[in-house]
Amino acid sequence: MKLRSTLYEELALEIEDMVARRVLLPGERLPSVRQQRARRGVSPSTVFQAYYLLEARGVIESRPRSGYYVALRAPSAAAAAPEPEASRPDGAPTSVDVSGLVFDVLDAARSRAIVPFGSAFPSPLLFPLERLARGMASGMRRLDPWSTVADLSPGNAELRRQIALRYQLDGVQVAAEDIVITNGALEALNLCLQAVARPGDTVLVESPAFYAALQALERMELKAVEVATHPRDGVDLDALAAALERHRPKACWLMTSFQNPLGSLMPPEKKRSLVALLAAHGVPLIEDDVYGELYFGHRRPTLAKRYDGEGLVMHCSSFSKCLAPGYRVGWAAPGRHARAVERLKLTTSLAAAMPSQLALAEYLGQGGYDRHLRQLRAALAGQQERMLAALAAHFPAGTRVTRPEGGYFLWVELPDGVDALALHQAALREGIGIAPGPMFSAKRAFRNCIRLNYGHPWEDSHAAAIATLGGLARAAVQAA
């Protein structure tokens, strides 16, 4: 499966490169499927997949009954804004009080009429909901009634086996018995945190941090230390080492691949160093990896868990962002804390829903997951290009934007003086949701930053919304 994926992706990359070097010009017709097949000896489906990917990325366009053409306004990396620099938090431990702000922002954007740039989710239209429902129906038909009580904890055996298999494909050895099925990744993360930290303890997080991590610290009365993080390769290990020495944290909660909101991806060697550093201090890593499958490159990013010789990496993920939104099935592979997490799960909410687990076990057993993921990644990559191009066209000079290699968030640093909370209010009045930077910091920093969600199929209304947002941002710059 990897091999086939490589073939069409290589073809797509080659064509993309030709467009970038203007070997293929805007509006020019691409070779037909038959021509590609004759010239390169690849199957029609490989060509179709490559063209589909390029279309999703906005590089080419199909014209009915005519063929594929280079897009007239093919997105160009050169036109995009520069990247933000690494964050520089002050590093002092902070009690967290950000939950109110987070809820206010999320509540304000609940209406379906709001342009969903502030959403935490990709579009549900990108998921195989019908196939999942069929999987559920057939799983339920074969249901052994006793499994409704006997398999409550730590979860459906077949699903845990499937998850262990995927770990193995990613080069990580996790026994099915050491996987705890949870009510989504959020519960997995919370249980892992509870297993290793008590009220008053300190926990290291990225800067900016995923707001749900901050909310978890707030709820458990833990202190946050935010550590400098680079938008491209993640948390700064020197800063992390200093924080470990100074604050003796009980845990480190990081998103090692496509961090929310930065989209940063720690390279394999950096992940290895991270795990070694934490092991030297005996500090558990809570590895939040819910976006790891949403990569735009050639292969899945390595897991920090892969380098875990001590059982100190508590790897958490779910199917909510990449397959089955609303099913609420996640898991933890908590290493040496597996039993503790399993027991916390039992006393917190007993078990995850059995029909959801059966549906996923059934779906994974049928083997369409990787195909779905390839389509999803292609769609997200294309949507990112569209949004980057729109931002370049409409946002004020001095704006910096990430260009993550996966996930569905852009982190936008606006010129100094722009107040993201005010921009959020102004955008809402125009029917546009955004996620203002202060949501992502215990100290409510990142006042001039916003997170934008490109996880929704690109529509004209989205282009218009980016233009409107850009106008609001330009006005804010002038007023500042």
Contacting positions for a copy of itself (CB under 8 A): 99, 103, 110, 112, 119, 121, 124-125, 127, 129, 133, 136-137, 140-141, 143, 145-152, 182-184, 186-187, 190, 194, 198-199, 212, 215-216, 218-219, 221, 325-329, 343-344, 346-356, 359
Beta carbon nearer to a copy of itself, 72 or 125: 125
Continuous H helices in 74-229: 99-108, 129-141, 147-150, 157-169, 184-196, 211-219
Beta carbon nearer to a copy of itself, 76 or 348: 348
Beta carbon nearer to a copy of itself, 8 or 127: 127
Q: CB of 61: closest distance to a copy of itself in angstroms?
A: 26
Q: CB of 195: closest distance to a copy of itself in angstroms?
A: 11
Please give the Cα distance from 250 to 119 (Å, whole number). 31
388 Cβ contact partners less than 8 Å away, ≥ 6 residues apart:
75, 80, 401, 403, 410
Distances (CA, A) of 197 to 182, 194, 243, 282, 308: 19, 5, 17, 13, 20
Q: CB of 218: closest distance to a copy of itself in angstroms?
A: 8
Beta carbon nearer to a copy of itself, 212 or 242: 212
**Residues 352, 155: contact at Cβ < 8 Å?**
yes
Query: Which single residue is written with the structure tokens 């997170």?
Result: 451
Q: CB of 404: closest distance to a copy of itself in angstroms?
A: 21
Instruction: Report the largest interatomic distance among the alpha carbons of the chain, rounded to a whole angstrom.
Output: 67
Pairing of strands 202-207, 223-230: parallel
Three-state secondary-structure class, residue 318: strand
Beta carbon nearer to a copy of itself, 359 or 427: 359
Beta carbon nearer to a copy of itself, 37 or 131: 131
Report long-range pairs for 387-390 (Cβ below 8 Å, ≥24 apart).
Answer: 387/452, 387/454, 387/458, 387/462, 387/466, 388/75, 388/80, 389/58, 389/73, 389/75, 389/76, 389/79, 389/80, 390/462, 390/463, 390/466, 390/467
Strand partners, 229: 235
Beta carbon nearer to a copy of itself, 326 or 368: 326
Q: CB of 182: closest distance to a copy of itself in angstroms?
A: 8
Q: CB of 6: closest distance to a copy of itself in angstroms?
A: 31
Q: CB of 140: closest distance to a copy of itself in angstroms?
A: 4
Q: What share of the chain is helix, strand, coil (3-state, %, to 5)?
A: 50, 15, 40
Q: CB of 415: closest distance to a copy of itself in angstroms?
A: 32
Six-digit token string for 422: 């005010």
Q: Which uninterrupted H or E stretch holds 471?
A: helix 460-479
**Residues 80, 388: contact at Cβ < 8 Å?**
yes
Q: How many residues can be counted in the chain?
A: 480
Beta carbon nearer to a copy of itself, 325 or 335: 325
Q: CB of 192: closest distance to a copy of itself in angstroms?
A: 13
Q: CB of 154: closest distance to a copy of itself in angstroms?
A: 12
One-letter amino acid of 138: S
**Residues 382, 56: contact at Cβ < 8 Å?**
yes
Beta carbon nearer to a copy of itself, 143 or 169: 143
Beta carbon nearer to a copy of itself, 19 or 359: 359
